[in-house]
Structure 1
């Protein structure tokens, strides 16, 4: 078996296309040829870095951002349609707040240290978009941590402080320094894919990266 294909995904937990991209990546990984391994890492990006820590009422925030609630809903509808073929479920009616995602990014790095980053990322995206949970709250994130096998009490102890905050900021600065201005952003064995590409496109990029690594 060749060395694992390095995959980094730069994303934000409040980005619906990141949710779709995560599901498409998962499908791609489930359909890889035998013998291809991957090393997957999730990197932080905040679409709303100036969002108040407590978040904002979603309807008010989105109406102001996009000019009207009707237009905001039309954008939501497009993501619902885009995600349907991949089995991505959105429940926008349940989403009452647009959260600050910084705590979730800190917790994702904490989960990486425990070997559960991908499970945490998947669970947070699902919690926000399919269940309408407020992922800006420490209690919510600690609950999600417990659901994927991390210690809930350890998460509750970690989140109120500033552990890994500098690491998140440094990774975000590095991403912007590399010209990443939108997410999701995939880097697969050195090849960049922008946006929520189809699962087959992602799969093929991984296969090609594995072939190149094997030829070295």
Structure 2
């Protein structure tokens, strides 16, 4: 049996990072009881702020402008930290200097998927992009940084770096993001399970697991 999951996210969304970790946990639990299950996770791009400058923008200033000052911004970050604590996800928001434009990060994931890289490698790349931004404070809008991340996940750095300087797949990624919004997705993470069910938000691993099981059962002959 095959499980297809379309995961809509943005790499500057802390809830998307948490959602990815929780999905991994739900899938690990599921595979323990259903080892024959073929799981395919397809990443779809979303731009939280489509007007982010190509070179990014100062992270803290962005947060304070969005949430109404430093105290309110810190309260929002504390909420994220608290929600992620039980899942073992630690954020280092204080290390982030730049809120990047994520077009090239989404291109990198699209490239990995369209080139037929192994699913485990694609998932490792996605996790590495989140970790680079939220835990290491690296600028994932920077092409050199992206090439380094791809190389650490098994790709050839020089090929990735040269490809990032082209315009390959830019239009495709933008069309995909536009298509997701046209389908009514306004917030992320957003999970589409077997094209039958949708789950919105960084739900717990238990909730995601129950929804996945339901999507596997839906449509089965009685």
2:183 is equivalent to residue 178 of structure 1 = yes
Q: Distance in 2 between matches of 1:178 and 1:141?
A: 29
> Please, which of 201, 204, 213 is the counterpart of residue 207 of structure 2?
201
Residues 5-42 of structure 1: per-residue CA shift (max 9 Å, x gap): 11000000000000000000000111012222211100
Q: Distance in 2 between matches of 1:127 and 1:151?
A: 18
> Please, which of 142, 149, 157 is the counterpart of residue 152 of structure 1?
157
CA shift, 1:213, in A, is 5.9
Q: Distance in 2 between matches of 1:169 and 1:100?
A: 13
TM alignment of 1:1-150, pairs within 5 A: 2=1, 4-32=2-30, 33-34=33-34, 35-112=36-113, 113-115=115-117, 116-150=121-155
Aligned length: 214
CA shift, 1:57, in A, is 1.1
Q: Distance in 2 between matches of 1:213 and 1:152?
A: 44
Q: Is the 8 A contact 1:5 1:37 kept in 2?
A: yes
> What 5-or-longer segments of structure 1 have no aligned partner?
none
| TM-score of the superposed pair, with normalisation by structure 2 | 0.92
Over the aligned positions, Cα root-mean-square deviation in angstroms equals 1.3
Q: Distance in 2 between matches of 1:96 and 1:161?
A: 26
CA 1:205–1:163: 2 relative to 1, 3 Å: same
Q: Is the 8 A contact 1:109 1:117 kept in 2?
A: no
